[in-house]
Amino acid sequence: MSKIKVSQNLLKINISHAEKIKNVLKKHNIKMINLIGSPGAGKTSLIEEALRSNLLKTSIGVIEGDIATTKDADRIKRFNVPVVQINTKSLCHLEAILVEKAIKQLPLEKLDLIIIENVGNLVCPVEFDLGEDFKVAVCSVAEGDDKPLKYPALFHKAKVIVLTKVDLIPHTNFDIKSFKEDIKRLNPKAKIIETSTATKEGIDKWVEFLNNIPTLKDEV
Amino acid sequence: MHEYSLAVALMETIDDIIKNQDKKIKKIKKIKLKIGYLRQVVPEILTLCFNEVSKNTVAEGANIEYEEIPLIIECKDCQKTYQGIKETTFICPYCKSTNTHVIKGEELEIDYLEVEIDE
């Protein structure tokens, strides 16, 4: 019996695809964010609101990840924005090899920013680097204020957390103070953006954030 | 449940390691993994998935041993380190700085393999 010392990341192959994506994006001077949130958190709606806004000054391409259907890509297409739908069938998250293929279908020379909408899930997508600049967590009031502590990996890793459906707060027991305190504990430097697509509250802040990503350095 | 994906990735990485060895490997007997506290991995499920993925390969029947790496956080301001298990906080308990970072606990690593070599 002999021992082979390895000391390598188990996800080495995913990481190598993520590195290739980073090189392509760097070459074209494109930033990329990875939206992660539950099904129904409002990820697609946030992208739609940005595309609808006349404050948007950045050229966006979208990669949609879903188990099935082109429903999300169809919603984005109405805004005449380049979009690629990935159907993962049984896979509960996107992996870098899928995104690498999808990026090849986007007109990179025309884009400043790529938004990936990951498969709706608060757990698995966190483990797979897609070559993005950073992760954005999307959480809705309807899910409850306890989600940061229940899913610490996502809320620790995301640089930005978008709270959606804030117009529902008066109708629920959602405690925004406790939500923010828990995030502060897990991720003291995270930026929190409060939004509602129903009342348009905070959409300007969300769009302003997207406008500034192309000029951001490593830190938000 | 992303353990199946992790099992496939583990198999691919092991294939890659074996390919780059000078000697021919007959059988993998043991796989030692290091899993950080912040990684979302269920060892029992990963083992089950790997047993499926590794069927009819040199890794079939290999024993996977897990070492859980605790979360260690360092404060960049006061230079103190602390363990963040029960009440995970990234606000330094000593000086309240938010300028902290993880130094251990994010591992998802193949530490070593124990193998039988074809003489």
Instruction: Read off the pLDDT of residues A124-156 as tens digits, 9 standing for 90 and up.
Output: 999 999 999 999 999 999 999 999 999 999 999
pLDDT at A194: 98
pLDDT tens figures, A17-32: 999 999 999 999 999 9
Sole residue written with tokens 């130094």: B103
Cβ contacts of residue A27 below 8 Å, gap of 6+?
none
B112 contacts in chain A (CB < 8 Å):
3-7
pLDDT tens figures, B64-112: 999 999 999 999 999 999 997 666 789 999 999 999 999 999 999 999 9
What distance in Å separates the CA atoms of residue A99 and residue A109, rounded to the nearest whole number? 17
A184 contacts in chain B (CB < 8 Å):
91
What distance in Å separates the CA atoms of residue A40 and residue A197, rounded to the nearest whole number? 13
CA proximity to A193, closest of A60, A201, A129? A201
Query: In the β-sheet with A113-117, what is the strand arrangement from edge to edge?
Result: A83-87, A60-66, A113-117, A31-37, A134-140, A160-164, A191-194
User: Reduced to 3 states, what is the DSSP secondary structure of residue A36?
Assistant: strand
ipTM above 0.85 for this complex: yes
A8 contacts in chain B (CB < 8 Å):
13, 17, 109-110
Chain A: residue whose CA lies nearest to B84 = A186
A1 contacts in chain B (CB < 8 Å):
29, 114-116
Looking at chain A, the whole-number percentage of residues with pLDDT higher than 90 is: 95
pLDDT tens figures, B24-41: 999 999 999 999 999 999
CA proximity to B60, closest of B68, B50, B70, B69? B50
What distance in Å separates the CA atoms of residue B72 and residue B83, rounded to the nearest whole number? 5
Taking the CA atoms of chain B, what radius of gyration do you get in angstroms? 18
What distance in Å separates the CA atoms of residue A3 and residue B21, rounded to the nearest whole number? 12
Mean predicted confidence (pLDDT) in A4-9 = 95
pLDDT at B45: 97
Distances (CA, A) of A131 to A28, A34, A87, A94, B40: 14, 9, 19, 11, 20
Q: Determine contact: A156 vs chain B, CB below 8 A.
A: yes
CB-nearest partner of A10 from B9, B21, B91: B9
Task: State the burial class of residue A58 (Cβ atoms within 10 Å of its Cβ: 0-12, 13-18, 19+).
Answer: middle
Distance from CA of A11 to the nearest CA of B (A): 6
